[in-house]
Amino acid sequence: MRKKTCVLGMLGTTLDAGTRHADRWSRWRPTVGLCQHEDFLVDRLELWCPPGSDKLAAQITADIASVSPGTEVRLHGFSVVDPWDFSEVYATLSEFADGYRWQADREDYYLHITTGTHVAQICLFLMCETRAMPARLLQTSPARSAPREPVRSAGRLHVIDLDLAKYDRLAARFRARQHQGASLLKAGIDTRNAAFNRLVSELEQVATRSRDPILLAGETGTGKSALCRRIYELKRARQHLGGELVEVNCATLRGDTAMSALFGHARGAYTGAAEARGGFLRKADGGLVFLDEVGELGRDEQAMLLKAIEDKRFFPVGSDKEVASDFQLIAGTNRDLAALVRAGRFRDDLLARLALWTFTLPALRDRREDLAPNLDYELERVSAQLGHRASMSKPARDAFLRFALGEATWAANFRDFGAAIRRMATLGDGGRIDEAAVTREIARLGASWQPSAGAGDLDDVLGAERAAALDRFDRVQLADVVAVCRRAASLSAAGRELFASSRAARTSRNDADRLRKYLARFSLTFDELRRAAGAQVSS
């Protein structure tokens, strides 16, 4: 089915004017002319009309009806005090864009920039560039004609891309719009980590300017799923998506049902397929699909996914007829996909397609300065979920933040952090968290973070024969060291955790070097342990 063509433009009080019938049809008029092209059918024209142009607007509407009866004309008042004031014109257009019902999945939009003041034309260009209006720019001009030949009233029409200078008076408005988008991606949290803020700023630009796949990497609990939902909210707010968000945990897709779940199946495709199924990718048509733990997909599913990404078409299981789905993809992983490629478990061509935009979310231990604002956010969130106000006394807050900034490892990152706040708020009288509640929670977290590495883990690291040759004492000690190294962000961080008591007694001078030498006794390195941890399936 053909998409409808919708053009938005300004009524030109000079170029579109003409009082006598002969004048109107012997000269080129851009607004009427754009509706006279046989190869560019305008289904709807949204026309902004300045004050005092009612008579001209009525005449233009009547003339368009005579040359293009299928074109619907909608008139909109465009009341600005100063049409040469950038801020006022842009604000008026922005208000229109926010209230307009864009249907990008059903209609193609064009901004006609031939008419109106230069200020209006520049503002329309900027609305297009920032995707505040999901449209393409359209310019018309009179046809070139030889001397003494009549003017062709339709003129010429072409889609263009302008290279206009930036305007300082508008810079603040653009920055505010970008800041608003970045704040949404951060859930309104005033994060202080410079690296994370740079990541979010770039992600906001990519999310609002591109439909390419996005890969969100990071450890379990760093917030990939929550960030994906906020990206979807941002794109919906900017009118870039019309469909729904479909979230899929690929780790739950197993065996023969995996292909059917993603791509659907035809009736009778296999035993038990009594009815046809659309699949997750069909469901995400016009919207966004989040494939979390994408590294868990089988090779066959990976091949089909690559085709679906590139062609927006694929075959449901048991069907010889392709189906279409125009979805945007965000993939999530806590695995080292490059390592999986080297191991032959992930397609290099799929990784190349997914990794065009890769954003690695930092672990909570690498965002220490963000712990305090995230504590406030979690208290607000838990309050809304529990139905009563959750708060912390100042001594309790200070004690919890000392722990959070110090000895806490946050093995599951924000999942651990959020769960801790929720437990304390639930158990506290009236949601009030005191020092005793913090003390109990610290003990609970400490117990849950006890190293769990055992003989099987050392078999993987050293090999079964070398692991069996170790004394029992060395096995227990090395298992603890391996567990710490696997979850630590760096060699220095692992050393600080392992030699915390020595540091407190001022007997440890170089924790990293001390750990490096210890690992060397077993022919191990920190980087090898971290790579091995990245290749494991996280719970």
Domain ranges in the chain are: 4-165, 173-360, 364-448, 455-534
The whole-angstrom separation of Cα 165 and Cα 209 is: 19
Chain centroid, CA 412 distance in Å: 22
Chain centroid, CA 203 distance in Å: 7
Could you tell me the end-to-end alpha-carbon distance of the chain, in angstroms, rounded to an integer? 45
Look up residue 287 and give its amino acid.
Answer: G
Q: Do domains 173-360 and 364-448 have the same CATH topology?
A: no
The CATH number, out of the four listed (3.40.50.10770, 2.40.160.40, 3.40.50.920, 3.30.1360.120), of the domain defined by the range 4-165: 3.40.50.10770
Residue range 173-360 forms a domain whose CATH class is alpha beta
DSSP code string of 348-385: HHHHHHHTTSEEEPPPGGG-GGGHHHHHHHHHHHHHHH
Angle between helical axes of 472-487 and 455-462 (0-180°, round to 10) = 80
Handedness of CA 432, 434, 437, 441 (dihedral sign): positive
| CA distances in angstroms from 356 to 152, 351, 485, listed in the order given | 47, 9, 30
| CA distances in angstroms from 460 to 463, 464, 468, 526, 529, listed in the order given | 6, 7, 12, 15, 10
In this predicted structure, what is the pLDDT of residue 534? Answer: 55
The whole-angstrom separation of Cα 323 and Cα 277 is: 12
The whole-angstrom separation of Cα 106 and Cα 2 is: 8
Chain centroid, CA 530 distance in Å: 28
In this predicted structure, what is the pLDDT of residue 65? Answer: 94
pLDDT tens for the chain, 539 residues: list them: 678 999 999 999 888 886 555 567 778 899 999 999 988 999 999 999 999 899 999 999 999 999 999 999 999 999 888 888 888 999 999 999 988 999 888 899 999 999 988 999 999 988 888 888 989 999 998 887 644 444 456 888 888 754 444 445 555 565 666 667 777 788 778 888 999 989 988 998 898 888 899 999 999 899 999 999 999 998 888 788 889 999 999 988 876 678 888 998 787 667 666 687 888 999 999 999 999 999 989 999 999 999 999 999 999 888 888 999 999 999 999 988 998 898 888 999 999 999 999 999 999 989 999 999 999 999 999 998 888 889 999 999 999 999 999 888 888 899 999 999 999 999 988 889 999 999 999 999 988 886 544 444 677 777 766 777 777 778 888 888 888 888 777 888 888 888 877 766 666 667 888 888 888 888 888 887 876 665 443 32
In this predicted structure, what is the pLDDT of residue 152? Answer: 52
Handedness of CA 208, 209, 214, 218 (dihedral sign): negative
Q: Reply yes or no on domain 364-448 having CATH 1.10.8.60.
A: yes
In this predicted structure, what is the pLDDT of residue 167? Answer: 44
In this predicted structure, what is the pLDDT of residue 268? Answer: 67
HSE, side-chain direction, 13 A CA sphere, residue 90: 20
The whole-angstrom separation of Cα 36 and Cα 62 is: 14
The whole-angstrom separation of Cα 53 and Cα 207 is: 39
In this predicted structure, what is the pLDDT of residue 396? Answer: 94
- Total-model pTM: 0.59
